[in-house]
Amino acid sequence: MAETAPLVATQASPTTPSKRITSIIKLLAESPGLTNIPSTHTFTLNSHDQVVSDTEEPVPVIDYSLLISSSPDQRSKIIHDLRKACQYWGFFMVINHGVPERLMRSMIDACREFFDLPEEEKQEYEGKHVLDPIRCGTSFNTSVEKVFCWRDFLKLFVHPVFHSPSKPAEFSENLLEYSKRVREVARELLKGISESLGLGTNYIDKALNLEQGLQILSNGKYKSVEHRAVVNKKAARISLAMAHGPSLDSVVTPAPELLDREGNAPAYIEMKYGKYLELQQSSKLDGKSCLDQVRI
């Protein structure tokens, strides 16, 4: 099955005016006489929000070198750890993954240089549709949001067809190498997660988004995590997220084998992956609202 791999680079800007702020955020922060954050960029807690505090329980850690080990005992332990992390946490940290440190630093630096480009150069990549192969902008979906996220983003499809902005210099070269290395890691993780569900090593290889897609395929057994972050007060934060999913025409649905084995009814409707991405990217950034819309 063909696969897609969208990459999202975001720069979360400081909550105090700074020369590092870009796009709409940059223009806002550099406005003469600005002393407070406007209400359009100020989030307030509501009754549904939860304040997340530090926990003594550590974030699950998956040693990738053990996952690809030739030792059956080591691989079995890691697959057990993957099952627990996906079922109870919805995320995990990967160590010993083999992606070079210098490559990760180069990719972060290249993204920072992109966000620092003059506004007229970045406007070439604004895009008109959520599935455009190259698209940059501010917040998440300004067409439906009343309060905007304090961030700028660059979204690219890097597989099966590789897309990249032509500026800055070496961005494309770094991105090509980085995306290939990360895809290799992701595919091996998918094999382990597939085994942890009792579906066989290659069942979901090249078939799913690693976040909300797994919750659908596992019929809710494996969780989708809500992403939350606190913006620094002094320095911008660069984040790189690379989703791995099937071809845009593939239908995403709970695995029939799991439903038959566990005697459960489907918890989510069938939907083409491309339509799911459109729904996800066209909605407001509101927890798991996209999953709620496809839940039966």
- Mean pLDDT computed over 65-76: 94
- Mean pLDDT computed over 7-16: 66
Tens of pLDDT along 86-140?
999 988 999 999 999 999 999 999 998 998 888 889 888 887 888 889 988 877 7
Q: Which residue has the higher pLDDT, 195 or 17?
A: 195
pLDDT band at 202 (very low <50, low <70, confident <90, very high): confident
pLDDT band at 17 (very low <50, low <70, confident <90, very high): very low
Beta-carbon contacts of 290 under 8 Å, excluding residues fewer than 6 positions away, are: 212, 276, 279, 280, 283
- Mean pLDDT computed over 239-264: 86
What's the pLDDT at 230? 61
Report the half-sphere exposure of 157 (CA within 13 A, side-chain side): 18
Cα separation, 75 vs 85, in Å, equals: 15
Report the half-sphere exposure of 145 (CA within 13 A, side-chain side): 19
pLDDT band at 263 (very low <50, low <70, confident <90, very high): confident
What is the pTM assigned to this prediction?
A: 0.81
Domains of the chain and CATH, by start: 3-33+57-247 (2.60.120.330)
pLDDT band at 20 (very low <50, low <70, confident <90, very high): very low
Kindly tell me the burial class for residue 73, based on how many C-beta atoms sit within 10 Å of its own C-beta (0-12, 13-18, 19 or more): exposed
What's the pLDDT at 18? 43
Q: Which residue has the higher pLDDT, 91 or 210?
A: 91
Which among 152, 150, 151, 153 is positioned nearest to 43, based on CA atoms?
Answer: 150
pLDDT band at 21 (very low <50, low <70, confident <90, very high): very low
> 33-53 burial, b if ≥16 CB within 10 A, otherwise e?
eeeeeeeebeeeeeeeeeeee
pLDDT band at 218 (very low <50, low <70, confident <90, very high): confident
Cα separation, 83 vs 88, in Å, equals: 8
What's the pLDDT at 22? 39
Cα separation, 247 vs 274, in Å, equals: 8
